[in-house]
Amino acid sequence: MARLTLERVSFWYPAMGRPALRDVSLAAAPGEVIALVGNVGAGASTLLLVAADLAPRVVGGKIEGRVNFRGRGKGEGGRGIVLPTPWTQLSGMAFTVWDEVAFGPANLGWPRERIAGAVDRSLAALDIGALAARDPATLSGGELQRVVIAGIIAMEPALLLLDEPTAELDPEGAGLVWRLVRALAGDGCSIVVATSDLDALPEVADRVVWMEDGVVRRIGAPALLAEESVCEAGLATTVADVWRTARLGAPYPLTVAQAERRWRQ
Amino acid sequence: MTGGRLHPFTLLAIAGTLPALAWILPAPAGGAVTTAVALVLTLTPGASPGLAGTGSSPGWRPGLVVLRTAVLTAAPFWLFLLLLHDVPSTIAIGLRLTTMIASVVWVGALLPPGRLVEAMVAAGWGVTAAYLFAAALSAVPLLKARAQRIVDAQRCRGLSPRGGLGRRLRALRALALPLVLSVLHEVDERALALETRGFVPGARRTPLAPPRDATAERVGRWLLLVGCAAALAWRLAWRG
């Protein structure tokens, strides 16, 4: 049974005549990682807002179609979204990193012992335990990004929506986040991630959704990122793109390991 | 017991009572007493420069920084009063203003905003009221950091905030607009972030570290309130 289902969803932002999403249908199963890829204006971020029940409820605008989420209500076992600008994601109510991460669980009314456990686990998962006593206002962009992700993870969502989660991170931090995504999926969390870190997707995503102008162009396995049409759209992995540019012949390899095997053949 | 261990509401009650008494009691004696008390409080062990200054060190030095901040903040008011009034009026009003300033600086240095928010949540205040208070306090360092980033970016493009008064005013105008616009632009995203983290009206928030509110302190707060009311009644009767 899918945890999140979108059936022919179209969405218009307020005062916009053109829909940001058109006839989008998608289902996310428990434990599945779905990656949304597309160029600027493709509608990936909007799809995440709709899936998070923030659009149109908070954002405003108009929606058509059906969005169905099978969780346990808000917050706990619910939906968590990480937006692409970490400095706007701070609660404004916490004066240490620990309190910032605890902000969400505290709003769920959990007992203090449970909150403490969830916060400590999240800090450890994001490798930011050393920042626990720091004022969030003094953190760098990368540190802040980890804190914001930790704040959502601590709420133990059943559906995790990530919008460019590695944009502020260095390669090591990005690798940590992708490993965490796989670990959470292993625990049954459904994850939908909009990202331009295409090279990470073969290892991370179960399915890739290619979006363009608010429409789903293709849905498929990560191998999609090495197809000719995707390469033409500039959405292929680096290896596939290099292979294609070098005219080494289709099908293009997706990863370095695949390229190595092809090269040896 | 140091001031830092008092319940946040008790600290606020003291900081509110002193200015109230300063205005209620006859000048200049009343103001002189309340000013003296407020200035002595700034030296309270546990006071940290916090918003008033930077860094901290053990002993009396942080208190001295807080005292200096209170005095330096009050000084311009005395100058303006002296320009506008005669000496007795200047002393009467100046002492009252100094009490207000010293009380605010003292409580600001002694009370971490997070502790006050915890106290508000534990006392059953709505999360919205607690948020408004905490967000206003936490906005200060965030806005300061953002303003610095904007100034840095503008300096990279040749706009220097240094130089004569005219140049500084131009730089200030160039800073104000992007600062205000960026804050307004972020309102929507912050609303989304709060919503997704369960911060909705009516949420039953768990206080993470509720400060202990001893019976003696609760009684003390009521006594401060009664004391203010009694002083007001006495003053009105005395005047009559």
Closest to A249 measured CA to CA, from A264, A228, A230: A228
Q: What is the pLDDT, as a whole number, of residue A186? A: 95
**Chains A, B: CB contacts under 8 A, how many?**
102
Q: How far apart are CA A256 and CA A8, in angstroms?
A: 37
Q: What is the pLDDT, as a whole number, of residue B52? A: 40
Residues on chain A touching B203 (C-beta within 8 angstroms): 107-109
Q: Which residue of B has its CA nearest to A104?
A: B197
Domain count, chain A: 1
Q: What is the DSSP letter of A140?
A: -
> Measured between CB atoms, does B200 come within 8 Å of chain A?
yes
Position B104 pLDDT exceeds 60: yes
In Å, what is the CA distance from A235 to each residue of A42, A207, A217, B102? 12, 15, 12, 61
Q: Which residue of B has its CA nearest to A51?
A: B196
Contact (CB<8Å) B190/A88:
yes
Using an 8 Å Cβ cutoff, are A84 and A164 in contact?
Answer: yes
Position B57 pLDDT exceeds 60: no
**A191-A196-A199-A201 Cα dihedral, nearest 10 degrees:** 20
Q: How far apart are CA A230 and CA A249, in angstroms?
A: 15
Using an 8 Å Cβ cutoff, are A158 and A72 in contact?
Answer: yes
Write out residues 202-241 of A within 8 Å (CB-CB) of B: none
Confidence bin at B65 (pLDDT 50/70/90): confident
pTM above 0.90, yes or no: no
A80-91 pLDDT, tens digit per residue, is: 999 988 888 888
Angle (CA) B47 B53 B56, round 5°: 55
Using an 8 Å Cβ cutoff, are B66 and B46 in contact?
Answer: no
Interstrand relation of A207-212 and A215-220 (parallel, antiparallel or unpaired): antiparallel
How far A137 CA sits from the closest chain B CA (Å)? 6
Q: Where are the domains of chain B?
A: 3-118+225-239, 127-196
Q: What is the pLDDT, as a whole number, of residue A161? A: 96
Q: What is the pLDDT, as a whole number, of residue A243? A: 93
> Measured between CB atoms, does B192 come within 8 Å of chain A?
yes
Confidence bin at B1 (pLDDT 50/70/90): very low
In a domain, A145, yes or no: no
> Measured between CB atoms, does A106 come within 8 Å of chain B?
yes
Locate B103 and state its tokens.
Answer: 């009380």
Position B51 pLDDT exceeds 50: no
Q: What is the pLDDT, as a whole number, of residue A262? A: 87
Contact (CB<8Å) B114/A74:
no
Four-residue CA torsion sign, A55, A78, A71, A3: positive
In a domain, A259, yes or no: yes
Confidence bin at B202 (pLDDT 50/70/90): confident
Q: Is B164 left (phi over 0), alpha (psi -120 to 50) or beta?
A: beta
Contact (CB<8Å) B199/A107:
yes
- Residue A261's domain comprises 226-265
> Measured between CB atoms, does B54 come within 8 Å of chain A?
no
The residue whose two tokens read 């404004």 is A92
In a domain, A261, yes or no: yes
Q: What is the DSSP letter of A199?
A: G
**Which among A75, A83, A110 is the nearest to B193, CB-wise?**
A83
User: Which ipTM was obtained for this model?
Assistant: 0.81
In a domain, A232, yes or no: yes
Residues on chain B touching A96 (C-beta within 8 angstroms): 114
B110-140 pLDDT, tens digit per residue, is: 887 778 888 888 888 877 787 787 777 667 7
Which stretches of chain A drop beneath a pLDDT of 70? 72-76
B215-236 pLDDT, tens digit per residue, is: 999 999 999 999 999 999 999 9
Closest to A27 measured CA to CA, from A46, A53, A49, A8: A8
Phi and psi at A188, nearest 5°, equal 100, 0
> Measured between CB atoms, does A109 come within 8 Å of chain B?
yes
How far A84 CA sits from the closest chain B CA (Å)? 10
Residues on chain A touching B196 (C-beta within 8 angstroms): 52, 54, 79-81, 152
Locate B104 and state its tokens.
Answer: 């605010």
**Which among A59, A93, A137 is the nearest to B141, CB-wise?**
A137
Q: What is the pLDDT, as a whole number, of residue B54? A: 39
> Measured between CB atoms, does A54 come within 8 Å of chain B?
yes
Selected residue of B140, B197, B204 to mutate for chain A interface (largest A Cβ count, 10 A): B197
In a domain, A265, yes or no: yes
How far B24 CA sits from the closest chain A CA (Å)? 36
Contact (CB<8Å) B192/A81:
yes
In a domain, A202, yes or no: no
How far A235 CA sits from the closest chain B CA (Å)? 27
Confidence bin at B9 (pLDDT 50/70/90): very high
Residues on chain B touching A92 (C-beta within 8 angstroms): 131, 134-135, 138-139, 142, 190
In Å, what is the CA distance from A84 to each residue of A182, A194, B43? 20, 10, 45
